[in-house]
Homo-oligomer: A and B are copies of this chain.
């Protein structure tokens, strides 16, 4: 139960007890409430007044499965609003085991210098000079740091994109195999870290000071129920281990909602070449891995290890969204190219979604032909080099659209959509439009409802209400630190009740039956409040015009949810 405050300006590290106002919060709950309380809403996201907050989930570091998620928050240079970006790997669990509730990075290091924060097994944090690491890409950097500080550490770091303070820059975290392939990718938080002059955070994985659980027996019992529920569910128990997140590609494509060629088509011709099935088959043939464990305490194992024809490592955690943004969206149907682009983005420290969509916009504007994988690789390399065009690309699709005067830019609040077209999945459009995060598929994803037939994807009715419910639940899960893929457990009354019991057992206070919803609402309200003070208005809660005007084949529908419906998403009873 302690906060580590790092002041980059005067290079000091202070430890404080978690103030009462933040008690009972973790993950996104803590980052968002804290940013709302401590960051001037109108500040420059890349200036010293912004704060970068790394907070493991409320249950990260406890024995509960699938709680290895960390929330990283700040005011976003991409959206101009509040941002929580979520990553896996080992860091959340490690911080939890050290009894560290959050790391708060403030100020800005002296010009030209870089620092790194190193936390030892006792939880002592020291700021060290890292100026010599300038320009290093994340794979080499992580390997070096784990050599210097020993293998029983985990790393969160930025690559060249973060140092260049580009709005698509990510913060990469190392996975269970010590590869920096997990990313707090969205919203340009790597640029905030770069602006602060912080190159890396090294955290010991050997902590033994986890906060006490008030009622260990009750906790254990509920944790067991949740783990069983995850294993029994066909999605988390069978599909994801077999095919990874890419397993949903076929279904989304069949629904005509797989935005291809910069969202001009809803079905991608080459979909079978880049599907989860194709990926699994290829890795079987080549000796790569599926059913790979990416995050601490994960029992789903949705990750993978992608190898080339000779069996050499290419990348890990090749996800559905990346296969879309670096595949269908730019017209590439070759998994080897996509895997290489995924590795490059991880290594340079770039959001694969925003970067792929930025390239799609460039291609749509005629800069390069769709499907030109070599051109895509060269473009991503330009970002690392910091060429003029590379910086434009690294600032995301809106910057690219502006550069080419191209109108078809699938982004909200500056952030690109993900692999679900809002014209064929109207509720995703509601989430993209209204989320405090900008277009964000994780903020309230309704795919499960569409696949289950519980909501009609093409009709506007019911989408706003469904999105609101999903957004509330997701905010709570991000606070708890539970993986989104395991989040389905709280969809049932029984699962939700078990989770509520677990929170009660952890915090030592009886939670109300609606505690999870209340937690989600509190977070969304803090975020919305911050965004309003930052100057965002209802007009920022809209999809770009072309989604309303250009029908998407094959359904040839447009986005039809009304503004009135969008404006009521953030009304909570």
> Which residue numbers of A lie inside 8 Å of B, CB to CB?
42, 44, 46-47, 165, 195, 387-389, 391-392, 395, 399, 402-403, 405, 407, 535, 537, 539-540, 545
Q: Which 8 A-B pairs have the closest CB atoms?
A: A388-B388, A535-B539, A388-B389, A165-B405, A46-B405, A44-B407, A391-B403, A535-B537
Which residues of B are found within 8 Å of A535, using beta-carbon distances?
537, 539-540
Cα distance A407–B47 when bound, in Å?
Answer: 8
Cα distance A392–B47 when bound, in Å?
Answer: 22
Which residues of B are found within 8 Å of A395, using beta-carbon distances?
402
Supposing A195-B405, A402-B395 touch, asked if A545 and B44 sit within 8 A by C-beta, the answer is yes
Cα distance A407–B407 when bound, in Å?
Answer: 28
> Are B403 and A388 in contact, CB atoms less than 8 angstroms apart?
yes
Copies in the assembly, this chain: 2
Which residues of B are found within 8 Å of A392, using beta-carbon distances?
388, 392, 403
Closest chain B residue to A40, Cβ basis: B545
Which residues of B are found within 8 Å of A388, using beta-carbon distances?
387-389, 392, 403
Cα distance A27–B392 when bound, in Å?
Answer: 38
Closest chain B residue to A395, Cβ basis: B402
Which residues of B are found within 8 Å of A47, using beta-carbon distances?
407
> Are B405 and A42 in contact, CB atoms less than 8 angstroms apart?
no
A198 CB to closest chain B CB (Å) equals 16
Which residues of B are found within 8 Å of A403, using beta-carbon distances?
388, 391-392
Cα distance A273–B562 when bound, in Å?
Answer: 61
Which residues of B are found within 8 Å of A44, using beta-carbon distances?
407, 545
Cα distance A459–B280 when bound, in Å?
Answer: 71
Closest chain B residue to A387, Cβ basis: B388
A549 CB to closest chain B CB (Å) equals 11
Cα distance A498–B331 when bound, in Å?
Answer: 68
Which residues of B are found within 8 Å of A540, using beta-carbon distances?
535
A540 CB to closest chain B CB (Å) equals 8
Which residues of B are found within 8 Å of A399, using beta-carbon distances?
402
Which residues of B are found within 8 Å of A195, using beta-carbon distances?
405
Max count, chain B CB within 10 A of own CB: residue among A46, A399, A402: A402
A563 CB to closest chain B CB (Å) equals 11
Cα distance A46–B407 when bound, in Å?
Answer: 9
Cα distance A540–B537 when bound, in Å?
Answer: 12
A196 CB to closest chain B CB (Å) equals 13
22 contacts between A and B (CB under 8 A): A42-B539, A44-B407, A44-B545, A46-B405, A46-B407, A47-B407, A165-B405, A195-B405, A387-B388, A388-B388, A388-B389, A388-B392, A388-B403, A391-B403, A392-B392, A392-B403, A395-B402, A399-B402, A535-B537, A535-B539, A535-B540, A537-B537
